[in-house]
A and B are shown apart, each in its own frame.
Chain A
Amino acid sequence: MSHYEAPIREPLIIGDKSYHDISNDIAAPIEGKANKWWWAVFTLALVAFLWGVGAIAYTIGTGIGVWGLNNKINWAWDITNFVWWVGIGHAGTLISAVLLLFRQKWRMGINRSAEAMTIFAVFQAGLFPVIHMGRVWNGYWTMPIPNQFGNLWTNFNSPLLWDVFAISTYLTVSVVFWYTGLLPDFAMIRDRATKPFQKKIYSLLSFGWTGRAKDWQRFEEVSLVLAGLATPLVLSVHTIVSFDFATSVIPGWHSTVYPPYFVAGAVFSGFAMVQTLLIVMRKVSNLEAYITRGHIENMNKVILVTGGIVMVAYLSEFFVGWYSGSSYEDFVYLSVGAATGPYWWAFWALILCNGVFPQLLWIKKLRTNYTVSFIMALIINIGMWFERFDIIVINLSRGHLPSTWTMFEPTFVDIGIFMGTIGFFFVLFLLYARTFPAVAQAEVKSILKSSGDNYKRERDSK
Chain B
Amino acid sequence: MYTFSGKLKTVSLVLMIIGALSIGYGFFTAPKTTQDVEQAMAHDSGHHGEEASHGAPSHGDTAHSEEHSEAEAQSHLEHLLHQGQNRPWTAFFIAAFFFLMISVCVLVFYAIQWAAQAGWSIVLFRVMEGISAYILPGSILLFLFLLASGMHMNHIYVWMAEGTFDPSSENYDAIVAGKSWWLNVPGWIIRSFIYLFVYNIFRYLLRKNSLALDTSADIKIYKKNFNLSIVFIVLFGILELFMSFDWLMSLDPHWYSQLYSFYVFASVLVSGITTIALVTIYLKNKGVLPFVNNSHIHDLAKYMFGFSIFWTYFFFDQFMLQWYANIPEEAAYFWPRLIGSYQLPFISMLVMNFVFPILILMDSDFKRVPWFVVAAGLIILTGHYIDVFQLISPATVGDSWSIGIPELGSLAFFMGLFIYVVFTSISKAPLHAKGNPFMKESEIYHY
Which A residues lie at the B interface, using CB under 8 A? Answer: 1, 4-9, 232, 235, 239, 243, 246-249, 254-260, 308-309, 312-313, 315-317, 319-320, 322-325
Contacts and interface: CB of A to CB of B under 8 A. Distances in A.
B325 A254 contact: yes
A175 to B, nearest CB: 24
B441 interface: yes
B257 A6 contact: no
B314 interface: yes
Contact of B327 (A1, A254, A323): A254
B259 A257 contact: yes
Nearest to B302: A101
B238 A4 contact: no
A315 B309 CA distance: 25
Given A232-B313, A257-B259, 20 more contacts: A1-B444, A5-B441, A6-B119, A6-B438, A6-B441, A247-B324, A254-B321, A254-B327, A256-B317, A258-B258, A258-B317, A258-B321, A312-B237, A315-B238, A316-B261, A317-B258, A319-B241, A320-B256, A323-B182, A324-B256
A447 to B, nearest CB: 14
Nearest to A159: B324
B322 A235 contact: no
B8 interface: no
Nearest to A325: B178
Contacts of B149: none
B440 A320 contact: no
B245 interface: yes
Nearest to A224: B364
Dominant SS among interface residues on chain B = helix
B237 A325 contact: no
B437 A256 contact: no
A248 B327 CA distance: 10
Contact of B438 (A8, A255, A308): A8
Contacts, number: 89
A215 to B, nearest CB: 20
Interface of B: 117, 119, 175, 178-179, 181-182, 219, 234, 237-238, 241-242, 245, 256-262, 309, 313-314, 317-318, 320-322, 324-325, 327, 437-438, 440-441, 444
Contacts of A8: 117, 219, 437-438
B444 A257 contact: no
B393 to A, nearest CB: 21
Nearest to A255: B258
Contacts of B237: 308-309, 312
A318 to B, nearest CB: 10
Contacts of A1: 444
A232 B306 CA distance: 10
A235 B313 contact: yes
Contacts of A256: 257-260, 317-318, 321-322
A1 B318 CA distance: 49
A254 B237 CA distance: 23
Q: Name A's interface SS.
A: helix
A385 B73 CA distance: 57
Nearest to A246: B321
A325 B258 contact: no
Contact of A247 (B181, B259, B325): B325
A6 B440 contact: yes
28 contacts: A5-B441, A6-B437, A6-B438, A7-B437, A8-B117, A8-B219, A232-B309, A249-B325, A255-B259, A256-B258, A256-B260, A256-B317, A256-B321, A258-B321, A259-B321, A260-B259, A260-B262, A260-B313, A260-B317, A315-B238, A316-B258, A316-B261, A320-B257, A320-B258, A323-B182, A323-B245, A325-B175, A325-B179
**Top 9 A-B pairs, shortest CB-CB distance:** A257-B258, A256-B259, A259-B317, A8-B437, A325-B178, A257-B259, A247-B324, A256-B257, A255-B258
A320 B257 CA distance: 7
B262 A247 contact: no
B258 A312 contact: no
Nearest to B254: A325
Nearest to A305: B233
A243 B316 CA distance: 12
A253 to B, nearest CB: 9
A257 B441 contact: no
A322 B178 CA distance: 9
B441 to A, nearest CB: 5
A254 B325 CA distance: 8
A120 to B, nearest CB: 28
B256 A323 contact: yes
B321 A243 contact: yes
B119 to A, nearest CB: 7
Given A7-B437, A317-B258, A239 B444 contact: no
B10 to A, nearest CB: 42
A114 B241 CA distance: 32
Contacts of B175: 325
Nearest to B242: A319
A247 B321 contact: yes
Nearest to A263: B313
Contacts of A239: 313, 317
B387 to A, nearest CB: 17
Contacts of A319: 241-242, 245
Contacts of A257: 258-259, 262
A315 B317 contact: no
A232 B444 CA distance: 30
A277 to B, nearest CB: 25
B19 to A, nearest CB: 36
A4 B117 CA distance: 16
Nearest to B258: A257
Contacts of B178: 325
Contacts of B245: 319, 323
Contacts of B241: 312, 315-316, 319
B120 to A, nearest CB: 8
Contacts of B181: 322
**Residue picked from A5, A6, A9, A255, most chain B C-beta under 10 Å:** A6
A239 to B, nearest CB: 7
Nearest to A248: B325
Nearest to B322: A256
